[in-house]
Structure 1
Amino acid sequence: MGAFVLETLTLGMYGEPRHTLREYVQNAFDSIRSAQRLKRLTGRGEVTIRLAADKISIRDNGLGVSAAQAYRTLTSVGASKKDRQRDAGFRGIGRLAGMAYCDTLTFETSFPDETVVTTVSFDCTKLLKAMDPDSGGDMELSRLLGSAITFAQVETATPEEHYFEVRMEGLAHAPDNLKNGSSVIEYLSETVPVPYDPSWPRAAQIEQSYRSFFGAPMETIDVTVVEGAIETLVFKPYGERYDHANGETELDSVEFEQDTDGRYWGWIGRTKDAVTISDWKTRAPRMRVRNIQVDGTQLFEQLFSEVNPSYGRLAAYYVGEIHIAPDHVVPNARRDGFEETENWLAIRKDLIEGLCANLASQAYEASRDKQKEITKVIKQVDELKKAGGKLTQNPKASYEAVVDLLTKARRLRRNASSALKVANAVDSTVAAGKELGPTSNVAVLQEAAKDVEAIESQARMLIGRFMDDDEKITALRSRIRNELMEEVLAIVSAHVDPPTYQAIRKNLLALT
């Protein structure tokens, strides 16, 4: 096999650079679980990711690899001793995921009861050059790997030590999102098996429901990102507040979904305002196996689209997770979906016909109700516009009718402002990233707001007809005074006792 095979198994496998970190954390997770099964680790599994200008390291306190097995294990490509039913990763290709972004990729490890530290390094510059299309990829793969690998073992560990560390050095070709702390933390919080933030009040309820269904606690590890002097412990991104196009909305409820055949369990969060959540870390439910995310929003968007082709956008009305039992599905090599097994196709069908059909229907109804609110305001503006036009052309228009027009216009302006916020949310859902035309809800309401301003200007102009009429002016002043009096007394009533309120009311009336 030539060098281009290695390109397919590494560079061609991970389109998003940060998937590299997910692969290394996934391997660390498996190693930690092995150490816990063998009673070599009784505390929390820990992974520390250190970011520097020209170096990234990922170190865990898992079992590590024994000195006798280290070279063969770490230099084998597409071979692994892992068990698909037990481990998160099992194909043996993820360890070279970082090759595209560094000059040297190094693995260092020690094993319980051994004093040997093993180091295996890959010359990624040489490997990438051999995979360059212009070089022809004519070197045989095993010979290429043999020329690019260095191996060393030294007696520097203590028998109690066990760890595995990945070092990516020489990051001239690494993109910023792989080296930036906030970007890395954001990505890891979404994808790797970290716990919920303990300050989130719903976390305990979700964890208890998971334990009741699967018969064991949700598996998590502690992942810490270190950048300079700043250390950040990573948690899942869920909380009580979520961003949308016009601000924030609060989580209203969490509902649990359970498969009667024991294949999957999950939670779905609904917000108080039925809006499209704009935060890409949380929008739309996610699928997880062994508490590691499979794909992002696309899986559930596809399932919603199976209910109705236009419903894919409605998945973003919700947050949540569906955890699938690992013995029922096989994540594909890119971890952006599942192998098309009979089990997965059956689960997929159940999720579409049960969960997604119900959620999509409810989101659609909520969206339609908002559309009705917007339509109502637009209709009211049109009616007021016609009334204003008639008054303008009527020389016998009464003073009361003009003042009534002005009052309605002011009230409608407030309603239009509220409707505009709703319209932004509706349009952002409908658009799904596309540019909206002049007939969008926002565009129509903005035009309606201009109409209301024009109506108010008309009403003020018409009032000018009556300015020389002392009787009309007196009536206007009296009306305004009474309206102000009612508003003041309503505010006072909420803050004082009845006798005080009556005394204030009496004095105010006396002033008028």
Structure 2
Amino acid sequence: MAHQTEIGKEIVDMLMFSMYPVPCTIFREYIQNAYDSIREAVEDSLLSSLNDGMVYIHTDKANRVITIEDNGTGIPTEQAEQRLKDVGKSIKRYMRSINKPRAGWFGVGRLVGAGYCQKLTFSTTAAGENVTSELVFDVNKIREILTNDEENMGAGQVIDECTSFRNDIPAIEDEHKFIVKLEGILPDYSSLLDHNSIKNYIIQAAPLAYDMMFKRLIKKCDDSKKDHFGELGYIRISLNDDSDLKKAYSDIVEGTGDKIEGLCIFDIKDGDDVLAWGWYGLTRFTKQIEDTERSSLTRGIRLRVQNIQIGDLNYFGGKNFFREARANEYFNGEVIVVDDGIRPTSDRSDLEPSAKSLRLKELIKDYFSTKMQPVYKAASEAKKAIEHYSDASTKIDEVNEKPISESFTKEVKEDRISEYTNDKAEASSKFNALVNRKLKEETPEGVKKVIRLYEEEATNNNIGIVSEAAIVPSKATKKDIKQDNLDEKIQMLSPKYSSNQIRIVKKCFNLIDKFYSKKYPDLVKSIKYSIVNGLLG
């Protein structure tokens, strides 16, 4: 007789106590199961849309109890015991009508809670039935069997020995639900009862909708791009008194204060096949995102499958995807896997190794390195040029306000103004050269967009518009310029410029004289001559 394979009790040990070492992952696993059940309820017309699906999570600190309930299909009575006891037998891998994969693939995630409590209970009611089925795991008893070396049970025997099932609990006939109850949360895992810790984890990991401020950014996107967001599945989740949690993304980047001016949406393609799509917030990228509790909810690009997070905020950190280890910490954004052949590992720490998943990672690395990293690099260059210009302007103001004295003569004052005017012109030249260089056709679109943001800022603040002709090379040249007749120089602008254009120049000079000539006479005169000389160029 052929040998019959046996599955030892150590498998139960692994699935319940070793496979998910991070406590908060229990919420992701049970939410993931609820998500599948709610999608199935929509297919079966028990719910009109995903938006009607709801997951309720309640924590009772005093009694150390966690309850997680969803209004998905529930499990029919005749199937309940088998489906709740069997391990690794996920009944279907694809949703029926849309032929899309379920979020849960392996049929083992429901055991995750056992590692953190003394008693684990599943209760379920299916639509059209008037009874609730219940399976109770005596987790303390399981621990005793697993630690007893003399107990030589198989995995199935352990589960049968340590569970009790009943299906005679009265229920309301129209109800359909599934309830997970963890009782006696172990002292070492009190974080599972902490409201803020749970909330912070769920709004990162779960398939949630975006908040209103972020939705306004989506509405601004091109129609062809924002359709991606409409295809994302999500459910509503309530945690204690916090109803309908949302992802933490808004129109401001936590950790920098930068305003998100728009969304850069991109596809990750292998030939004509879209493997994933993503977005990142377009800001001025003024600095790396600070590491705070609030910023950790959105910092970095996140990887998601079925709108459920893979890994954590550091998944794209280091040099595995960007050329610089710090690069990921400049961005808010997500990469959403859409190819059904790319699946997460059972613990959702990564993607299952396959030719497609490896190809996806290669393509993401290429996009991040060549299209995204240059964005914050260009922003840094533009920011520095504007800062240098502003610093020089401030120094000129300070010099003009300083009274003439024996140690600070008129000649010294003029020399300082000349020096700082040169600094301004140099910063302006660098900025304009950057703009011209980065707005070329072959430049990544994200780089062009961020440069336009800084160009707009420069224009609004009269920064970056001073031509290189404003540079005063020496004191002698500066004196020669002052001796020229400005009116004659303006007349020399014709016929190179039209009379209307010359009239605009004169009006601009009149405005400058009106507001600044009394306070900064030398600077105003120098600027006017520099502008005219630049136009005569």
TM-score above 0.5, yes or no: yes
Q: Post-superposition shift, 1:144?
A: 1.6
The aligned residue for residue 62 of structure 1 is 72
Alignment equivalent of 1:357, drawn from 360, 370, 379: 370
1:456 is aligned to: none
The answer for the alignment partner of 1:187 in structure 2 is 201
**Tell me, which stretches of 5 or more residues in structure 1 are unaligned?**
379-396, 412-488, 494-512
Letter in 2 for 1:126: K
Contact 2:225 / 2:265 at 8 angstroms: preserved in 1?
Answer: no
Gaps of 5+ in 2: 1-6, 95-99, 392-405, 421-513, 519-537
Query: In 2, Cα distance between the equivalents of 1:68 and 1:31?
Result: 17
Quick one: distance in 2 between partners of 1:74 and 1:105?
12
Which residue of 199, 207, 212 maps to 1:198? 212
Q: Does 1:80 align with 2:86?
A: no
Q: Distance in 1 between matches of 2:105 and 2:390?
A: 58
Structure-2 residue corresponding to 1:316? 329
- 1:262 corresponds to: 274
From 7, 12, 17, the counterpart of 2:18: 12
How far residue 211 of structure 1 moved from its aligned partner, in angstroms, is 6.3
8 Å contact from structure 2 (residues 253, 332) kept in 1: no
Post-superposition offset of 1:168: 0.6
Partner of residue 164 from structure 1, selected from 160, 169, 178: 178
**Secondary structure at 1:331 match in 2:** coil
Instruction: Label 1:209 to 1:268 Cα distance change in 2 as closer, same or farther (>3 A).
Output: farther
* Aligned position for 1:299: 315
Change (3 A) 1:211 1:271: closer
- In structure 2, the CA distance between the partners of 1:35 and 1:87, relative to structure 1 (3 Å rule), is same
Q: 1:340 to 1:168 in 2, by over 3 A?
A: same
Secondary structure at the counterpart of residue 202 of structure 1? helix
| Mapping of residues 122-141 of structure 1, within 5 Å | 122-132=137-147, 135=149, 138-141=152-155
CA distance in 2, matches of 1:306, 1:167: 40
Q: 1:329 is matched with which residue?
A: 342
Q: Say whether 1:234 aligns with 2:249.
A: no
Superposed CA deviations along residues 343-377 of structure 1, whole A, max 9, x for unmatched, are 11222221111244321233345457778999999
Equivalent positions of 1:41-120 (< 5 A) are 41-43=47-49, 44-53=52-61, 54-83=64-93, 85-120=100-135
Does structure 1 retain, via aligned residues, the 8 Å contact 2:217–2:262? no
Distance in 2 (alpha carbons) for counterparts of 1:163 and 1:205: 38
Describe how 1:333-348 pairs up with structure 2 within 5 A: 333-348=346-361
Report the Cα offset of residue 204 of structure 1: 4.0
Partner amino acid, structure 2, of 1:287: L
**Structure 1 residue 174: deviation in Å?**
5.3
Instruction: Find the aligned partners of 2:301 and 2:23 in 1 and give their Cα distance.
Output: 23
Cα–Cα, structure 1 residues 111 and 205, in superposed 2: closer, same or farther, change >3 Å?
farther
Q: Structure 2 length as normaliser, TM-score?
A: 0.65
Partner in structure 1 of residue 305 of structure 2: 289
Contact 2:38/2:73 (<8 A) preserved: yes
Spell out, residue by residue over 1:322-359, the C-alpha distance to the aligned partner (whole angstroms, 9 max, x if none): 11114130101110111111111222221111244321
Contact residue 263 and residue 328 of structure 1 kept, 8 A? no
Q: Is the 8 A contact 1:58 1:166 kept in 2?
A: yes
Paired residue secondary structure (1:189): helix
1:138-149 matched pairs, under 5 angstroms: 138-149=152-163
Is 2:37 aligned against 1:35? no
CA distance in 2, matches of 1:135, 1:208: 63
Relative to structure 1, the CA distance from residue 46 to residue 147 in structure 2 (aligned partners, 3 Å threshold; closer, same or farther) is same
The answer to whether 1:271 aligns with 2:283 is yes
| Alignment size in residue pairs | 388
Rate the CA distance shift 1:315–1:123 in 2: closer, same or farther, 3 A: same
The alpha-carbon distance between structure 1 residues 137 and 280, as it changes in their structure 2 partners (threshold 3 A), is farther
- Deviation (angstroms), 1:223: 0.3
For residues 261-310 of structure 1, the C-alpha deviation after alignment (integer angstroms, 9 at most, x for no partner) is 222222111322332123111111111111111112333225x53453xx
Kept after mapping to 1: 8 A contact 2:57/2:239: yes
Residue 219 of structure 1: which of 233, 238, 247 is its match?
233
Contact 1:290 1:326 in 2 (8 A): no
Aligned-partner Cα distance in 2 for 1:322–1:27: 22
Aligned alpha-carbon RMSD (Å): 3.5
- Deviation (angstroms), 1:141: 2.0
User: How has the CA–CA distance of structure 1 residues 118 and 235 changed in structure 2, closer, same or farther, with 3 Å as cutoff?
Assistant: same
**1:492-507 alignment, distance < 5 Å:** none
2: CA distance between counterparts of 1:261 and 1:32?
29
The share of aligned pairs that are identical, in percent, is 26
